[in-house]
Amino acid sequence: MAQILDGTRVRDDILSELKPRVAALAAKGRPPGLAVVLVGHHPASEIYVRNKVRACRELGIYSESVTPPGSVSTEELLGIVDQLNGRHDIDGILVQLPLPPQVDARRILLAVAPAKDVDGFHPCNVGSLVAGLPGPRACTPAGILELLKRYGIPIAGQRAVVVGRSDIVGKPVALLLLHEHATVTICHSRTPSLAAICREGEILVAAIGRPAMITAEFIRPGATVVDVGMNRIDNRAEAARIFRNSTEKMAAFDKKGSLLVGDVHPLDVAAAAGAYTPVPGGVGPLTIAMLMVNTVVSAERRTGLC
Ligand code: NDP
C-alpha cells in the first residue's frame, strides 16, 4: 500500500522547531516581524492572508497586514513597500498576488528588498537559487523538498519529472531537485508524449492546475508522487466522475457543495504510487510553514543570530 506523505504532520514539526528560535529572537530584543500587503478585496487572498497571520500569532511572530484599496496605483504601492523596506522591526515582506490590473506587479516585486523577500520571488533570490547560493527559497518548492527529506525519500541519482514550469512552483522545484542531484525533466503544455515521460519519473511532481489530470498511465509503479495542485470542483457530475461515485466523497460534496482535488487522480495515485502527497493535507500545509521559516531566518540574519 502506498505511503501517504503527511504535510500536516511535517508542518507541525517544522513549526514546533521554530518556536525556540522565535523565543531566542524575542529574548534578544524583538520577535521576527512579517508584513503582508493585501490589495483590495479578493476572497481567496483574504483566506490565505488570514492563515498566514494566524500562523505568525501561534508562533509569536509579529505580523502586520497593510490593506490598501483595490484602486491603489503602482506609485502608491511602491511607497508602501519602500516604507516597509526601511522598517527595522519588519524582517519579511509579502505582497499577496494577484495584484489589480492597474498595478505593475513586476515593479512591485522588484521593489521588495531581497533580504526581506520571504516569498523568494525577487530576481536576486531566483539567481541565488540557480547558482546554489544561500537565500530565501520560494515557499511551496522549499516545502516539497522538506517533505521528501523528512520522509527519507531518496533524491540523489533519481529520475525526477516536474510537470509545470511556473516561476513560483515548477521552475524552482526543478532546480531544488537538481541541486539534490536528481536527474530532472521539466514538462509543460507543449510537451509531447507527456504520459510516457511522466512514467519515467521515480519522483513525479505535478504543478499544473488541471484537476486529476495525472492518471494511472502517467505514474511509474512505486514512484513518489507530489501533487501541488489545488483545484476546487463545484460541479457534481465532475466530482462523481473523478471519485468514481464514491459514496463517502459524494456525501462530502453534497455537504460542502464542492471538493478540493489535486492535479493527480486521487484514486489512481493511491493504487500506483509508492508514496504520495494527498490533497488536501499534502503540499498545502507546508507553504505557510516555509514562509515562517524564511521569516525567522531573515530575522536571525538581520539581528546577527546566524
Ligand atoms: P501556473 O498556471 O502558473 O502554471 C501551470 C503550468 O502547468 C504551466 O507551466 C503550464 O504549461 C502547465 N500546464 C498546463 N496545462 C498543461 C497540460 N495540459 N499539460 C502539461 N502541462 C500543462 O500554475 P502554478 O504553478 O501557479 O500552480 C499550479 C497548481 O499548483 C495550481 O493548481 C495551484 O493552485 C497550485 N498551487 C498550490 C500551492 C500550494 O500551496 N499547495 C501553491 C501554488 C500553487 P505552460 O507553461 O506551457 O503554459
Average pLDDT over residues 72-98: 97
Give the per-residue pLDDT at 306: 66
Catalytic residues: 52, 96, 119
Q: What is the pLDDT of residues 151-185, one digit of tens each?
A: 999 999 999 999 999 999 999 999 999 999 999 99
Rounded to an integer, what distance in angstroms lies between the CA atom of residue 104 and that of residue 107? 6
Which residue, by CA, sits nearest to atom 5 of ligand 1?
A: 208
- Domains contained in the chain, CATH given: 29-116 (3.40.50.10860), 139-285 (3.40.50.720)
Question: Residue 218 pLDDT more than 80?
Answer: yes
Residue with cell 509503479: 221
| pLDDT > 90: percent of the chain | 96
Q: Which ligand 1 atom sits closest to the C-alpha of 287?
A: 40
Q: Residue 43: which pLDDT band, with cuts at 50, 70 and 90?
A: confident
Give the per-residue pLDDT at 3: 98
Ligand 1 binding pocket mutation candidate from 188, 233, 277 (most atoms within 8 A of CB): 188
Give the per-residue pLDDT at 209: 97
Residues within a 6 A CB radius of ligand 1: 140, 163-166, 168-170, 187-191, 194, 207-210, 228-231, 283-284, 287
Q: What is the pLDDT of residues 104-144, one digit of tens each?
A: 999 999 999 999 999 999 999 999 999 999 999 999 999 99
Q: Residue 34: which pLDDT band, with cuts at 50, 70 and 90?
A: very high
Q: Residue 304: which pLDDT band, with cuts at 50, 70 and 90?
A: confident
Alpha-helix residue ranges (DSSP H) falling in the chain: 7-28, 43-59, 74-86, 105-111, 123-131, 139-150, 170-179, 194-198, 236-242, 247-256, 266-272, 284-302
**What are the C-alpha distances in Å from 33 to residues 101, 157, 256, 291, 301?**
29, 39, 36, 12, 13
Q: Which amino acid is at 236?
A: R
The C-alpha angle with vertex 97 and arms to 95 and 100, in degrees rounded to 5, equals 105
Rounded to an integer, what distance in angstroms lies between the CA atom of residue 195 and that of residue 207? 15
**CB of 236 within 8 A of CB of 260?**
no
Give the per-residue pLDDT at 44: 87
Question: Residue 206 pLDDT more than 80?
Answer: yes
Q: What is the overall mean pLDDT for the chain?
A: 97
Which residue, by CA, sits nearest to atom 15 of ligand 1?
A: 189
Residue 218 DSSP label: G
Question: 23-32, 38-47, 255-264: which range is least confident on average?
Answer: 38-47
Question: Residue 14 pLDDT more than 90?
Answer: yes
Which residue, by CA, sits nearest to atom 34 of ligand 1?
A: 230
Average pLDDT over residues 141-151: 98
Rounded to an integer, what distance in angstroms lies between the CA atom of residue 269 and that of residue 52? 30
Ligand 1 binding pocket mutation candidate from 8, 48, 137, 166 (most atoms within 8 A of CB): 166
CA of 209 to the centre of ligand 1 (A): 4
